[in-house]
Amino acid sequence: MRPLRAIVTTAAVLAVATGLSACGGGGSKSSGSTSTTAASGASYKLLKSGVLRVGTLTDAPPNVYLKDGRFTGFDNDLLTAVAAKIGLKVDFAGTDFSALLSQVATHKFDVGSSSITITEARKKTALFTNGYDFGYLGLDVPAGSALKSFDELKGKRVVVVQGTVQDDFATGHGFDPVRVPDYNSALNQLKTKTAEAWISPAEIGEKTAKDSDGKVVLVSKQLSPTPTAFAVAKDNPALAAALNKGLDQVIADGTWTRLEQQYFPGRQIPAGFKPGSGSVALPE
């Protein structure tokens, strides 16, 4: 989760340029279990022609979640709009966050969508688009807890979702966290008071607290140092380039702003944060 956009490595940029220069006209061809789809002047490997197969979560509102049988949330609605700009449909499937990046890397999914914070460690597994959102680390505790800040967590029973930036944060600060597979499991640890605190993505932690009937409280948050982005396989830089192009287009036409206001009403955008390539101004 954030302040500034992801930077594509020189090698990735050269790979994209090479892929684009080698592209022909329309049509598609298959090779093994993947297909190559031509759209918007670029070609990229997809599991199914014309469709992005997307791995996401079911239980992390307002960013990614399942509602009335449909995958929605800020990240997923944004990706749907981005895909439409490059002529693709979207097919979502639920998974655990801890497995998501490896599933993208091995082409089980074309894209990972789950408020994925860009880190150097994760760049070894997947290629990231430009950043599309910022965020905060949140501190959720059971109602009535005396804990008020991250500085008080040493020696406490702290829960995190495995493989997240919150897991990295807790481990890096010596908290020896309890790792769970999903956000519902983290919430249940607080409700039953088997954990004293949950380090959460603050937007998700805040929504979860509001929906907990007073059993959970968000007591603190701090800005995450890097943005979130969509993940693709490292051998598919052309797809990352296409998604970056579509992302800039939905920023320019006001879709990003509309979804930001819909899912995070009243949230202030940090000074200096620019989604996408940073070259497109947000509409007034």
Q: 10-134+226-263: what fold?
A: D-Maltodextrin-Binding Protein; domain 2 (3.40.190)
Summary mean pLDDT of the chain: 86
Per-residue confidence band for 131, with pLDDT thresholds at 50, 70 and 90: very high
CATH no. of 136-223: 3.40.190.10
Q: Please state the length of the chain.
A: 284
**Cα separation of 104 and 247, whole Å?**
19
Phi and psi, residue 93, nearest 5°: -145, 140
Model confidence pLDDT, tens digit, residues 1-52? 443 333 333 333 333 333 333 333 333 333 333 443 444 434 788 999 999 9
Q: What is the mean pLDDT of residues 59-78?
A: 97
pTM of structure? 0.76
**Cα separation of 75 and 73, whole Å?**
6
**Cα separation of 16 and 208, whole Å?**
40
Residues of the chain with CATH 3.40.190.10: 10-134+226-263, 136-223
Please give the structure tokens belonging to residue 165: 């930036």
The angle that helices 74-85 and 255-263 make with each other, rounded to 10 degrees, is: 170
Quote the pLDDT of residue 147.
97
**Cα separation of 265 and 227, whole Å?**
19
Model confidence pLDDT, tens digit, residues 183-199? 999 999 999 999 999 99
The angle that helices 237-252 and 255-263 make with each other, rounded to 10 degrees, is: 80
